[in-house]
Amino acid sequence: MEPRTGERVRALEWTGEALRLLDQRRLPHETGWVEARSAAEVAAAIRDMVVRGAPAIGIAAAYGAALAVRAHAAGPAADWRPAFEAELRTLEAARPTAVNLAWALARMRRRLDAALVAGEDPAAALETEARAIHDEDVAANRRMGALGAARLGGRCAVLTHCNTGALATGGWGTALGVIRSAHAAGLIERVYADETRPWLQGARLTAWELVQEGIPVSLLADGAAAWLLRQGGVRWVIVGADRIAANGDVANKIGTYALALAARRHGVGFMVVAPVSTLDPATPDGAAIPVETRAAGELLACGGSPVAPAGAGAWNPVFDVTPADLVDVLVTEAGVVERPDRARLAALLRAAQAGE
């Protein structure tokens, strides 16, 4: 599969027989691919951070479901459906916070049900659906890029956190897609990228993507962000999301909440960019969002080398929740919402569903 026009970076590609995943653990110094030929291998790649970013995780899971039905669909569905569902439960458990994963698998289940009723080939139906999810994500990212860039209010510097680009999505990116689109329109003076401990997605991935695209980027330690905002010159903090609750609370990479607080204190706009699939109307507010906690070793070491004394413990939540009242603008492919709250998000979802 050739890269789509205007994209030098891609995280995953479907070969027709397997899912190829750019191994993001090896970037920026090595470029290597992992090939997944089963749902279990896709789940392992999601769990082990070969692929990460909520939209990319959802797309990978969709292809995993396609691989699962290909492996099991022989004879009456009653005979193989339990094994297929077990594979999907393994995929669902790989990363619990990103709602796109559950959303994509629910969509694949619905498509399978429809295929069985219609007497279609289940494997062909699910492969086509996974490709559609992938293509729709790229189109949504392009739309969000244009909508978000139009809200910047002129040429400016921006700050972003974690990685929300082509590596985290089907292509182009969410928050980084806005930055790509804004740069193409001459609106970006400089991008400041938090390093994003402990996996250093900002240092290893965001900075790498921006260098590939020729977009000026400066890396900063996570703890320097508030001081940077106090200096002036940064007009927007632009971030993605892994789940947005019904009331507008936003789960995203740990450190996002601190950025939102600092942005509000210093009069800097705070923009969240996420596809409609990231909105979770079944989760009433941020308190109900499951926040994944990962192994202490990820925090106690960096690049495999210990950075803390033996015997020290660690608390390693990999997401936090930003209250909706700290979000100035939510950008989705279905439209832009200022000061998102329960009523405005419900209206957005109704409009999105009506447009399907």
Segment 300-314, tens digit of pLDDT: 998 789 999 999 999
CATH at 43:
1.20.120.420
Per-residue pLDDT tens for 154-172? Answer: 999 999 999 999 998 998 9
Catalytic-role residue among 194, 242, 320, 328: 242
Lowest mean pLDDT across 1-15, 35-49, 188-202, 273-287: 1-15
| pTM given for the model | 0.86
With cut-offs at 50, 70 and 90, classify the pLDDT of residue 7.
low
| Same-domain pairing of 268 and 253 | yes
| HSE of 340, CA atoms in CB hemisphere, 13 A | 31
| Same-domain pairing of 130 and 62 | yes
Using the 3D structure, point to which of 94, 116, 141 is the last residue of a domain: 141
Looking at the chain, the whole-number percentage of residues with pLDDT higher than 70 is 97
CATH at 196:
3.40.50.10470
* Number of domains, the chain: 2
3-state secondary structure 22-68: ECCCCCCCCCCEEEECCHHHHHHHHHCCCCCCHHHHHHHHHHHHHHH
| Same-domain pairing of 104 and 183 | no
Q: Is the predicted pLDDT of residue 96 greater than 80, yes or no? A: no
Cα–Cα distance, 26 to 32 (Å, whole number)? 7
- Has residue 5 been placed in a domain? no
| Same-domain pairing of 106 and 173 | no
| Same-domain pairing of 224 and 108 | no
Averaged confidence pLDDT in the chain: 93
| Those residues with Cβ within 8 angstroms of residue 110's Cβ, 6 or more apart along the chain or in another chain | none
Q: What is the pLDDT of residue 4?
A: 40
Q: What is the pLDDT of residue 52?
A: 86
* Packed helices 39-47 and 54-72: angle between N→C axes, nearest 10 degrees: 160
Kindly state the average pLDDT of the residues 274-279: 91
Q: Is the predicted pLDDT of residue 53 greater than 90, yes or no? A: no
Residue 302 belongs to what domain range?
146-354
Q: Is the predicted pLDDT of residue 12 greater than 70, yes or no? A: yes
Q: Is the predicted pLDDT of residue 97 greater than 80, yes or no? A: no
Long-range CB contacts (< 8 A, 24+ apart) of 14-20?
14/63, 14/127, 14/130, 14/131, 14/134, 18/67, 19/60, 19/63, 19/64, 19/67
Strands 234-239 and 156-160: parallel
| Same-domain pairing of 151 and 136 | no
Nearest in space to 179 (alpha carbons), one of 188, 171, 167, 170: 188
- 167-to-106, 178, 232, 240, 345 alpha-carbon distances in Å: 23, 14, 30, 13, 27
- Has residue 2 been placed in a domain? no
Q: Is the predicted pLDDT of residue 3 greater than 90, yes or no? A: no
Q: Is the predicted pLDDT of residue 149 greater than 80, yes or no? A: yes
With cut-offs at 50, 70 and 90, classify the pLDDT of residue 37.
very high
- Has residue 93 been placed in a domain? yes
| Same-domain pairing of 134 and 216 | no
Q: What is the DSSP letter of 293?
A: B
- Has residue 205 been placed in a domain? yes
| HSE of 242, CA atoms in CB hemisphere, 13 A | 27
With cut-offs at 50, 70 and 90, classify the pLDDT of residue 209.
very high
Per-residue pLDDT tens for 249-262? Answer: 999 999 999 999 99
With cut-offs at 50, 70 and 90, classify the pLDDT of residue 354.
confident
| Same-domain pairing of 168 and 282 | yes
250-253, strands of its sheet edge to edge: 279-280, 243-245, 250-253, 319-322
Nearest in space to 144 (alpha carbons), one of 168, 118, 120: 168
With cut-offs at 50, 70 and 90, classify the pLDDT of residue 356.
low
Catalytic-residue membership of 242: yes
| Same-domain pairing of 25 and 97 | yes
